[in-house]
Protein backbone atom coordinates (compact mmCIF):
# COMPACT_ATOMS: atom_id res chain seq x y z
CA UNK A 1 0.00 0.00 0.00
CA UNK A 2 2.83 2.38 0.93
CA UNK A 3 4.53 1.65 -2.41
CA UNK A 4 1.30 2.58 -4.23
CA UNK A 5 1.01 5.81 -2.25
CA UNK A 6 4.64 6.72 -2.97
CA UNK A 7 4.20 5.91 -6.68
CA UNK A 8 1.07 8.08 -6.79
CA UNK A 9 2.91 10.98 -5.12
CA UNK A 10 5.86 10.70 -7.53
CA UNK A 11 3.57 10.71 -10.56
CA UNK A 12 1.62 13.66 -9.15
CA UNK A 13 4.82 15.65 -8.65
CA UNK A 14 6.01 14.89 -12.18
CA UNK A 15 2.69 15.99 -13.66
CA UNK A 16 2.55 19.09 -11.46
CA UNK A 17 6.11 19.99 -12.44
CA UNK A 18 5.27 19.69 -16.14
CA UNK A 19 1.96 21.56 -16.24
CA UNK A 20 2.98 25.02 -14.96
CA UNK A 21 5.70 25.26 -17.60
CA UNK A 22 3.16 24.55 -20.36
CA UNK A 23 0.69 27.06 -18.96
CA UNK A 24 3.36 29.74 -18.70
CA UNK A 25 4.32 29.16 -22.34
CA UNK A 26 0.71 29.60 -23.46
CA UNK A 27 -0.10 32.64 -21.33
CA UNK A 28 2.79 35.05 -21.95
CA UNK A 29 1.15 38.40 -22.60
CA UNK A 30 1.96 42.10 -22.49
CA UNK A 31 -0.72 44.53 -21.37
CA UNK A 32 0.14 47.13 -24.03
CA UNK A 33 0.22 44.79 -27.06
CA UNK A 34 -2.85 45.09 -29.27
CA UNK A 35 -1.38 44.54 -32.75
CA UNK A 36 0.59 41.49 -33.91
CA UNK A 37 -0.30 39.58 -30.75
CA UNK A 38 0.34 36.17 -32.30
CA UNK A 39 3.80 37.05 -33.58
CA UNK A 40 4.88 38.71 -30.33
CA UNK A 41 3.45 35.85 -28.25
CA UNK A 42 5.31 33.36 -30.45
CA UNK A 43 8.63 35.09 -29.78
CA UNK A 44 7.93 35.66 -26.09
CA UNK A 45 7.13 32.01 -25.53
CA UNK A 46 10.49 31.11 -27.04
CA UNK A 47 12.21 33.65 -24.74
CA UNK A 48 13.42 35.55 -27.79
CA UNK A 49 11.82 38.80 -26.65
CA UNK A 50 11.37 40.09 -23.16
CA UNK A 51 9.14 42.79 -21.78
CA UNK A 52 9.63 45.29 -18.99
CA UNK A 53 9.10 44.84 -15.26
CA UNK A 54 5.76 46.68 -15.41
CA UNK A 55 4.34 44.03 -17.77
CA UNK A 56 4.65 46.14 -20.93
CA UNK A 57 6.45 45.49 -24.20
CA UNK A 58 6.51 49.08 -25.50
CA UNK A 59 5.63 47.88 -29.01
CA UNK A 60 5.80 51.29 -30.70
CA UNK A 61 9.16 52.28 -29.25
CA UNK A 62 12.04 52.24 -31.71
CA UNK A 63 14.21 49.15 -31.39
CA UNK A 64 17.89 49.75 -30.68
CA UNK A 65 20.63 48.10 -32.71
CA UNK A 66 21.88 46.19 -29.66
CA UNK A 67 18.36 44.95 -28.81
CA UNK A 68 17.94 43.59 -32.33
CA UNK A 69 21.27 41.74 -32.07
CA UNK A 70 20.26 40.25 -28.74
CA UNK A 71 16.94 39.02 -30.14
CA UNK A 72 18.62 37.44 -33.15
CA UNK A 73 21.16 35.59 -31.02
CA UNK A 74 18.42 34.28 -28.73
CA UNK A 75 16.43 33.18 -31.78
CA UNK A 76 19.45 31.31 -33.09
CA UNK A 77 20.01 29.63 -29.72
CA UNK A 78 23.53 31.03 -29.25
CA UNK A 79 24.93 30.10 -25.83
CA UNK A 80 28.68 30.44 -26.33
CA UNK A 81 29.65 34.10 -26.51
CA UNK A 82 33.40 33.68 -26.70
CA UNK A 83 34.51 35.76 -29.65
CA UNK A 84 37.38 37.93 -30.81
CA UNK A 85 37.25 41.60 -29.90
CA UNK A 86 35.64 43.30 -32.94
CA UNK A 87 37.56 46.49 -32.26
CA UNK A 88 34.68 48.94 -31.98
CA UNK A 89 35.60 52.28 -30.46
CA UNK A 90 32.22 52.62 -28.76
CA UNK A 91 31.86 49.05 -27.38
CA UNK A 92 34.61 47.87 -25.03
CA UNK A 93 35.07 44.71 -22.99
CA UNK A 94 32.95 44.97 -19.86
CA UNK A 95 30.33 47.17 -21.52
CA UNK A 96 26.74 45.99 -21.51
CA UNK A 97 26.10 43.98 -24.66
CA UNK A 98 29.78 43.63 -25.60
CA UNK A 99 29.74 39.82 -25.75
CA UNK A 100 26.61 39.69 -27.93
CA UNK A 101 28.01 42.31 -30.30
CA UNK A 102 31.34 40.51 -30.60
CA UNK A 103 29.57 37.22 -31.29
CA UNK A 104 27.32 38.81 -33.92
CA UNK A 105 30.40 40.16 -35.71
CA UNK A 106 32.01 36.71 -35.63
CA UNK A 107 28.83 35.19 -37.13
CA UNK A 108 28.82 37.78 -39.92
CA UNK A 109 25.50 39.31 -38.84
CA UNK A 110 26.88 42.81 -38.27
CA UNK A 111 30.02 44.69 -39.23
CA UNK A 112 29.62 48.25 -38.00
CA UNK A 113 30.98 51.31 -39.79
CA UNK A 114 34.39 52.90 -40.10
CA UNK A 115 34.79 56.64 -39.64
CA UNK A 116 36.55 57.81 -42.85
CA UNK A 117 38.31 60.62 -40.95
CA UNK A 118 39.66 58.70 -37.96
CA UNK A 119 39.69 55.14 -39.27
CA UNK A 120 37.95 53.96 -36.10
CA UNK A 121 35.13 51.40 -36.21
CA UNK A 122 31.80 52.06 -34.53
CA UNK A 123 28.69 49.98 -33.87
CA UNK A 124 26.40 52.63 -32.30
CA UNK A 125 24.54 50.10 -30.10
CA UNK A 126 21.96 52.58 -28.83
CA UNK A 127 21.08 54.05 -32.20
CA UNK A 128 17.72 52.97 -33.58
CA UNK A 129 17.63 50.21 -36.17
CA UNK A 130 16.33 51.21 -39.61
CA UNK A 131 14.15 49.07 -41.87
CA UNK A 132 17.01 48.65 -44.33
CA UNK A 133 19.39 47.53 -41.59
CA UNK A 134 16.74 45.08 -40.39
CA UNK A 135 16.53 43.58 -43.87
CA UNK A 136 20.29 43.15 -43.94
CA UNK A 137 20.79 41.51 -40.55
CA UNK A 138 17.79 39.19 -40.99
CA UNK A 139 18.99 38.10 -44.43
CA UNK A 140 22.52 37.49 -43.16
CA UNK A 141 21.37 35.74 -39.98
CA UNK A 142 19.13 33.24 -41.75
CA UNK A 143 20.67 33.15 -45.21
CA UNK A 144 17.48 34.56 -46.73
CA UNK A 145 17.97 34.62 -50.50
CA UNK A 146 15.95 35.20 -53.62
CA UNK A 147 15.34 37.98 -56.07
CA UNK A 148 12.39 39.46 -57.91
CA UNK A 149 12.39 41.64 -61.01
CA UNK A 150 10.09 44.12 -59.29
CA UNK A 151 11.53 46.89 -57.14
CA UNK A 152 10.33 49.19 -54.41
CA UNK A 153 10.44 52.72 -55.78
CA UNK A 154 12.77 53.89 -52.99
CA UNK A 155 15.08 50.84 -53.12
CA UNK A 156 16.51 50.66 -56.67
CA UNK A 157 19.23 48.14 -57.45
CA UNK A 158 21.86 50.82 -56.76
CA UNK A 159 20.78 51.00 -53.10
CA UNK A 160 23.06 49.36 -50.50
CA UNK A 161 20.10 47.45 -49.04
CA UNK A 162 18.64 46.31 -52.36
CA UNK A 163 19.82 42.67 -52.21
CA UNK A 164 18.51 42.19 -48.68
CA UNK A 165 15.19 44.00 -49.13
CA UNK A 166 14.62 42.19 -52.40
CA UNK A 167 15.27 38.84 -50.69
CA UNK A 168 12.71 39.59 -47.96
CA UNK A 169 10.15 40.59 -50.60
CA UNK A 170 10.81 37.43 -52.64
CA UNK A 171 10.17 35.30 -49.55
CA UNK A 172 7.01 37.23 -48.55
CA UNK A 173 8.59 38.40 -45.31
CA UNK A 174 7.69 41.92 -46.42
CA UNK A 175 5.28 43.35 -48.98
CA UNK A 176 6.27 46.98 -48.35
CA UNK A 177 3.79 49.85 -48.23
CA UNK A 178 0.71 50.44 -50.37
CA UNK A 179 2.52 53.10 -52.44
CA UNK A 180 5.24 50.59 -53.44
CA UNK A 181 7.85 52.02 -51.06
CA UNK A 182 9.86 50.21 -48.39
CA UNK A 183 11.22 53.22 -46.47
CA UNK A 184 14.67 51.68 -45.82
CA UNK A 185 15.93 54.60 -43.69
CA UNK A 186 12.89 54.82 -41.43
CA UNK A 187 13.37 53.76 -37.79
CA UNK A 188 11.86 50.39 -36.94
CA UNK A 189 9.59 49.78 -33.95
CA UNK A 190 9.90 46.87 -31.53
CA UNK A 191 6.62 45.36 -32.74
CA UNK A 192 7.58 45.55 -36.41
CA UNK A 193 10.98 43.98 -35.83
CA UNK A 194 9.16 41.21 -33.97
CA UNK A 195 6.83 40.69 -36.93
CA UNK A 196 9.68 40.44 -39.43
CA UNK A 197 11.61 38.05 -37.19
CA UNK A 198 8.52 35.88 -36.56
CA UNK A 199 7.85 35.65 -40.30
CA UNK A 200 11.45 34.60 -40.88
CA UNK A 201 11.23 31.87 -38.25
CA UNK A 202 7.67 30.69 -38.87
CA UNK A 203 6.27 30.71 -42.45
CA UNK A 204 2.66 30.68 -41.22
CA UNK A 205 3.09 34.32 -40.13
CA UNK A 206 4.05 35.49 -43.61
CA UNK A 207 1.80 37.99 -45.35
CA UNK A 208 0.40 36.31 -48.47
CA UNK A 209 -0.77 39.65 -49.85
CA UNK A 210 -4.42 38.66 -50.23
CA UNK A 211 -5.76 41.57 -48.18
CA UNK A 212 -3.32 44.28 -49.19
CA UNK A 213 -4.27 47.43 -51.06
CA UNK A 214 -2.32 49.40 -53.62
CA UNK A 215 -2.02 53.16 -54.09
CA UNK A 216 0.89 53.34 -56.56
CA UNK A 217 3.51 51.38 -58.46
CA UNK A 218 1.61 49.81 -61.37
CA UNK A 219 3.30 51.85 -64.07
CA UNK A 220 6.46 50.68 -65.81
CA UNK A 221 9.74 51.19 -63.99
CA UNK A 222 11.50 54.01 -65.91
CA UNK A 223 14.91 52.60 -64.94
CA UNK A 224 14.27 49.38 -66.86
CA UNK A 225 13.89 48.25 -70.46
CA UNK A 226 11.05 45.81 -71.15
CA UNK A 227 10.74 43.20 -73.89
CA UNK A 228 7.18 42.00 -74.60
CA UNK A 229 5.80 39.40 -76.96
CA UNK A 230 2.42 38.98 -78.65
CA UNK A 231 2.46 35.14 -78.81
CA UNK A 232 -0.41 34.69 -81.29
CA UNK A 233 1.33 37.00 -83.78
CA UNK A 234 4.85 35.90 -82.83
CA UNK A 235 5.68 39.60 -82.60
CA UNK A 236 8.15 41.16 -80.13
CA UNK A 237 8.47 44.76 -78.91
CA UNK A 238 11.10 46.50 -76.82
CA UNK A 239 9.81 49.31 -74.58
CA UNK A 240 12.17 52.08 -73.48
CA UNK A 241 11.58 55.13 -71.29
CA UNK A 242 11.82 58.42 -73.14
CA UNK A 243 11.36 61.15 -70.54
CA UNK A 244 8.28 63.14 -69.53
CA UNK A 245 5.73 65.38 -71.21
CA UNK A 246 2.63 67.25 -70.06
CA UNK A 247 0.72 63.96 -69.83
CA UNK A 248 3.21 61.83 -67.93
CA UNK A 249 6.03 59.40 -68.74
CA UNK A 250 6.77 58.68 -72.40
CA UNK A 251 7.60 55.20 -73.68
CA UNK A 252 8.67 54.02 -77.12
CA UNK A 253 7.75 50.47 -78.19
CA UNK A 254 10.01 49.30 -81.03
CA UNK A 255 9.42 46.18 -83.14
CA UNK A 256 9.96 44.83 -86.62
CA UNK A 257 6.85 46.70 -87.80
CA UNK A 258 8.02 50.08 -86.55
CA UNK A 259 7.47 52.14 -83.42
CA UNK A 260 4.53 52.98 -81.19
CA UNK A 261 4.53 55.81 -78.66
CA UNK A 262 2.75 55.42 -75.33
CA UNK A 263 2.40 57.37 -72.08
CA UNK A 264 1.79 56.55 -68.43
CA UNK A 265 0.42 58.90 -65.80
CA UNK A 266 0.16 57.90 -62.15
CA UNK A 267 -1.09 59.91 -59.17
CA UNK A 268 -3.11 59.32 -56.01
CA UNK A 269 -6.28 58.90 -58.09
CA UNK A 270 -4.96 56.07 -60.21
CA UNK A 271 -3.02 55.00 -63.29
CA UNK A 272 -3.74 56.14 -66.85
CA UNK A 273 -2.22 54.48 -69.89
CA UNK A 274 -2.57 55.90 -73.38
CA UNK A 275 -1.06 56.91 -76.68
CA UNK A 276 1.27 59.90 -76.61
CA UNK A 277 -0.56 63.17 -77.36
CA UNK A 278 -3.76 61.22 -77.95
CA UNK A 279 -6.39 59.24 -76.04
CA UNK A 280 -6.24 57.31 -72.77
CA UNK A 281 -6.67 53.59 -73.44
CA UNK A 282 -6.98 52.30 -69.88
CA UNK A 283 -7.61 53.72 -66.40
CA UNK A 284 -7.04 51.87 -63.11
CA UNK A 285 -8.34 53.64 -59.98
CA UNK A 286 -6.56 53.86 -56.61
CA UNK A 287 -6.79 52.59 -53.96
CA UNK A 288 -6.96 49.13 -55.46
CA UNK A 289 -7.91 46.05 -53.45
CA UNK A 290 -9.74 42.74 -53.75
CA UNK A 291 -13.14 43.17 -55.49
CA UNK A 292 -12.52 46.78 -56.55
CA UNK A 293 -14.83 47.46 -59.49
CA UNK A 294 -14.91 50.23 -62.07
CA UNK A 295 -15.96 50.98 -65.63
CA UNK A 296 -14.23 52.69 -68.54
CA UNK A 297 -15.47 54.01 -71.85
CA UNK A 298 -12.89 54.98 -74.48
CA UNK A 299 -15.17 57.16 -76.63
CA UNK A 300 -18.69 58.44 -76.13
CA UNK A 301 -21.06 55.94 -77.69
CA UNK A 302 -18.60 53.05 -77.32
CA UNK A 303 -19.50 50.04 -75.13
CA UNK A 304 -18.64 50.48 -71.47
CA UNK A 305 -16.00 48.04 -70.22
CA UNK A 306 -16.43 46.68 -66.69
CA UNK A 307 -13.40 45.72 -64.62
CA UNK A 308 -13.00 43.89 -61.30
CA UNK A 309 -9.97 42.93 -59.20
CA UNK A 310 -10.23 39.16 -58.77
CA UNK A 311 -7.01 38.63 -56.79
CA UNK A 312 -4.27 40.60 -55.08
CA UNK A 313 -1.85 37.70 -54.65
CA UNK A 314 -1.72 35.56 -57.77
CA UNK A 315 1.50 33.76 -58.65
CA UNK A 316 2.09 33.75 -62.40
CA UNK A 317 4.99 32.83 -64.66
CA UNK A 318 6.16 34.34 -67.93
CA UNK A 319 9.46 33.85 -69.80
CA UNK A 320 10.81 36.74 -67.68
CA UNK A 321 10.29 34.86 -64.42
CA UNK A 322 7.82 33.95 -61.68
CA UNK A 323 5.91 36.76 -59.99
CA UNK A 324 4.26 36.60 -56.58
CA UNK A 325 1.55 38.93 -55.25
CA UNK A 326 0.42 39.69 -58.79
CA UNK A 327 -2.78 41.74 -59.13
CA UNK A 328 -5.33 40.01 -61.35
CA UNK A 329 -7.86 42.26 -63.09
CA UNK A 330 -10.69 40.82 -65.17
CA UNK A 331 -12.91 42.58 -67.67
CA UNK A 332 -16.34 41.32 -68.62
CA UNK A 333 -15.11 40.09 -72.00
CA UNK A 334 -13.02 37.45 -70.25
CA UNK A 335 -9.67 39.24 -70.58
CA UNK A 336 -7.33 39.00 -67.57
CA UNK A 337 -4.61 41.59 -66.90
CA UNK A 338 -1.76 40.83 -64.48
CA UNK A 339 0.09 43.71 -62.80
CA UNK A 340 3.11 43.56 -60.49
CA UNK A 341 3.95 46.50 -58.24
CA UNK A 342 7.28 48.02 -59.18
CA UNK A 343 7.17 46.44 -62.62
CA UNK A 344 3.80 47.08 -64.30
CA UNK A 345 1.84 44.88 -66.69
CA UNK A 346 3.45 41.45 -67.12
CA UNK A 347 0.73 39.34 -68.77
CA UNK A 348 -2.62 39.55 -70.59
CA UNK A 349 -4.71 36.41 -71.09
CA UNK A 350 -7.85 35.91 -73.16
CA UNK A 351 -9.86 33.40 -71.14
CA UNK A 352 -12.94 33.63 -73.39
CA UNK A 353 -11.16 31.23 -75.75
CA UNK A 354 -10.73 27.60 -74.79
CA UNK A 355 -8.01 26.85 -74.10
CA UNK A 356 -7.17 30.32 -72.82
CA UNK A 357 -4.73 32.31 -74.92
CA UNK A 358 -1.84 34.50 -73.89
CA UNK A 359 -2.03 37.63 -76.00
CA UNK A 360 0.68 39.76 -74.33
CA UNK A 361 3.50 38.65 -72.01
CA UNK A 362 6.72 39.96 -70.53
CA UNK A 363 9.77 38.23 -72.01
CA UNK A 364 12.68 40.04 -70.40
CA UNK A 365 13.60 43.01 -68.21
CA UNK A 366 17.02 44.63 -68.11
Rounded to whole angstroms, the Cα distance separating 1 from 229 reads 87
Among residues 168, 108, 87, 106, which one has the least CA distance to residue 135? 168
Position 28 scores a pLDDT of 59
Question: Tell me: the pLDDT tens digits for 248-291?
Answer: 999 999 999 999 999 999 999 999 999 998 889 999 999 999 99
Q: Global pTM?
A: 0.86
Task: Write the DSSP assignment of 295-322 as a string of letters.
Answer: EE-SSTTSPPEEEEEEEEEEEEEETTEE
How much is the average pLDDT of 212-240?
96
Domain boundaries, the chain: 24-205, 226-365
Instruction: Using DSSP, state whether 246 is helix, strand or coil.
Output: coil
Question: Tell me: the pLDDT tens digits for 70-108?
Answer: 999 999 999 999 999 999 999 999 999 999 999 999 999
Position 302 scores a pLDDT of 86
What percentage of the chain has pLDDT greater than the value 90? 85
- Rounded to 10 deg, the angle between the 98-106 and 65-75 helix axes is 70
Strands 235-244 and 113-114, bridge-based pairing = unpaired
Phi, psi of 33 (to 5 degrees): -95, 115
Residue 66 has pLDDT above 90, yes or no: yes
Position 203 scores a pLDDT of 95
How much is the average pLDDT of 27-43?
89
Rounded to whole angstroms, the Cα distance separating 295 from 254 reads 30
Work out the number of other CB atoms within 10 angstroms of the CB of residue 292: 19
Average pLDDT, the chain: 91
Position 154 scores a pLDDT of 97
Residue 228 has pLDDT above 90, yes or no: yes
- Alpha-carbon distances of 143 from 72, 164, 185, 199, rounded to whole Å: 13, 10, 22, 14
Residue 21 has pLDDT above 60, yes or no: no
Confidence of residue 43 (pLDDT cuts 50, 70, 90): very high
Question: Tell me: the pLDDT tens digits for 233-249?
Answer: 999 999 999 999 888 99
Confidence of residue 7 (pLDDT cuts 50, 70, 90): very low
Highest mean pLDDT among 18-22, 97-101, 204-208: 97-101
Amino acid sequence: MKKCVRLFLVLSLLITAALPFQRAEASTTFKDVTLYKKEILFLANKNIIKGYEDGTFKPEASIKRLQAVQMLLRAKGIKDFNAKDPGFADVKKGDYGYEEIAKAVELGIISGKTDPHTGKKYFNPWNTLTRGQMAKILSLSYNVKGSTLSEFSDVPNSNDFYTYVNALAYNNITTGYADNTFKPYQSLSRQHFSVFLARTLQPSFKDNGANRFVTAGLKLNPHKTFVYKYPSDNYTETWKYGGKDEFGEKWTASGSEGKEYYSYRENNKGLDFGIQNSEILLTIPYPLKQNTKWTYQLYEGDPVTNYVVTSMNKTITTPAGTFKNTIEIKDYDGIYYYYVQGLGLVLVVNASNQPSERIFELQKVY
